[in-house]
Chain A
Amino acid sequence: MNRRELLKLSPLLLVGAFGIPKFRDPLLTTGVAFADWASAGWFRRNHLAPIFADSEVTPPDRFYVNTYDVDDPGVDLDKWTLTVGGDVMRPGEYTLAQIQSFPKLAQNTRHICVEGWDVIGRFGGTRISDFLQHVGANPKAKFLYVECADDYYESLDMASALHSQSLLCYEMYDQPLTREHGAPLRLRVPTKIGYKQAKYLTGLRVTDVVPKAGYWEDQGYPAYYGL
């Protein structure tokens, strides 16, 4: 009687697969991919990230600057253009002035680092959706892929990129982006985790297939990580 009851628990031994290196990585990758899929499922296009009062904003000198490589990749701001390509009708080089010609959205939103800290900053820029519409991006494409002057790279799923608060950000605290914050152009997507907020943008591509998910994602961080 006891032995039979004990045997009924034997499916629990399957958890032991996590102890075998050959199975561990695929299992963990699957677990994270499942969470990515689920959180993409409960992402609400029209649900806004909280907007904060000016009194709640973190002062600029207390806005932590996280870099993975260099504080300043030495972008020549006078000659800078954004190279737009992929599944768009009007590919080519876009100047900052062209990007700034759209209505500006400036909001106080929370930036959350995967490490656990957060800051509330004031970010201003052009809605990604406005810009993508202007360049004739295929709205059914799956991803927006960006490349950066410091060799950083990132991908955004199209639903998050088209969210009304997602910005091609050129201002912080109502001033042009400083070099340490990614001058002249960075991503600011308040529905995404910190490492998705790529700085020093140089290229932007609309695509169904991303060659790589992102700098940190390719080292094991979740690829979707919506907030």
Chain B
Amino acid sequence: MTEPNALAVPIAAVEAGENDLRLAYEHPWAVRFCHWLNTVSLFVMAASGLRIFRAFPSFGPKIPQHNLLNVPASLTMGGWLGGALQWHITFAWTYVATGIFYLAYQIFSGNYRQTLFVPKDVAGVWPMVRHYFFFGRKPAQTEVYNPLQKMAYTSAILLGFLSFLTGIVLYNPVQFSSLASLMGGFHWARVWHFGVLGAFLLFVMGHLVMVVLHGWRNFTSMLTGWKRNPEYLP
């Protein structure tokens, strides 16, 4: 059913009456599974994390305490600090397990080549930015992901790794004291952990906007793996 091609993406040609369909298998099962499980985990981690932050919404001293912002309770989950900790600690497991499984799959299957932002992609970032934000001409799409997408997705994976490192330091700052001092100490680990959340929220917003703008096909391909007539196919 699939035929060899230069894109390293399985392609299927489907006879569909007068209009021949060409289908590309963009997302293997493991990637789709991790994507949606991680969507749940990330949502729970963010919402319960904000509830934890409400208990001491500052990065300064306890005395005198200067609150940075008051996160509305409606944006949080867990109901109270102890409840939020239960959600945060429990979903940290699914979050980390998903991350390990995803990375292992990407590396051993070779599928990382589709996603990983590498030096040769650097030159293609600016043309994409110009296209999206400054009405530039749309560069030809030659791969499943364009350079800007690769950069965004690779950054998201790095953010996941950073959220884990800063999180484990906040949870066990004594056992991981070397890692903590690498981050500038317990206080700074808390700042970085929160900063990673901010970066994640920016990514998710951009990600959702692009999915809405660029259509249903990108969404369904993350569900079924297959995309109809992708523009990078001849």
Contacts and interface: CB of A to CB of B under 8 A. Distances in A.
A35 B53 contact: no
A101 B200 CA distance: 55
Interface in B49-66: 52-53, 55-56, 58, 61-63, 65
Interface string A49-63: 110000000100111
A222 B36 contact: no
A117 interface: yes
Given A5-B224, A42-B172, A220 B33 contact: no
B71 interface: no
Interface stretch (B89-97, B133-141, B154-162, B202-210): B89-97
Contacts of A63: 63
A219 interface: yes
Interface size class of B (residues with CB under 8 A): 35 or more
Interface residues of chain B: helix, strand, loop or mixed (majority): helix
Interface stretch (A9-17, A142-150, A172-180): A9-17
Contacts of B62: 62, 64, 113, 117-119
Contact of B173 (A44, A112, A113): A112
Nearest to B23: A1
A9 B56 CA distance: 39
B201 interface: no
A9 B219 CA distance: 14
A165 to B, nearest CB: 9
A227 B175 CA distance: 6
Interface stretch (B79-87, B110-118, B143-151): B79-87
Contacts of A118: 62, 186-187
A227 B86 contact: no
B171 interface: yes
Given A15-B37, A62-B61, A219-B82, A5 B186 contact: no
B175 A47 contact: yes
Interface in B149-197: 171-175, 177, 181, 186-187, 190
Contacts of B103: none
Interface in A100-152: 110, 112-119
Given A31-B86, A117-B56, A5 B225 contact: yes
A5 B12 CA distance: 15
B226 interface: yes
Interface of A: 1-2, 5-6, 8-9, 11-12, 15, 27-32, 34-35, 39, 42-44, 47, 49-50, 58, 61-64, 110, 112-119, 190-191, 216, 219-222, 226-227
15 contacts: A2-B226, A5-B32, A5-B223, A5-B225, A8-B33, A32-B89, A39-B171, A64-B63, A114-B85, A115-B81, A116-B55, A117-B58, A117-B65, A119-B61, A221-B82
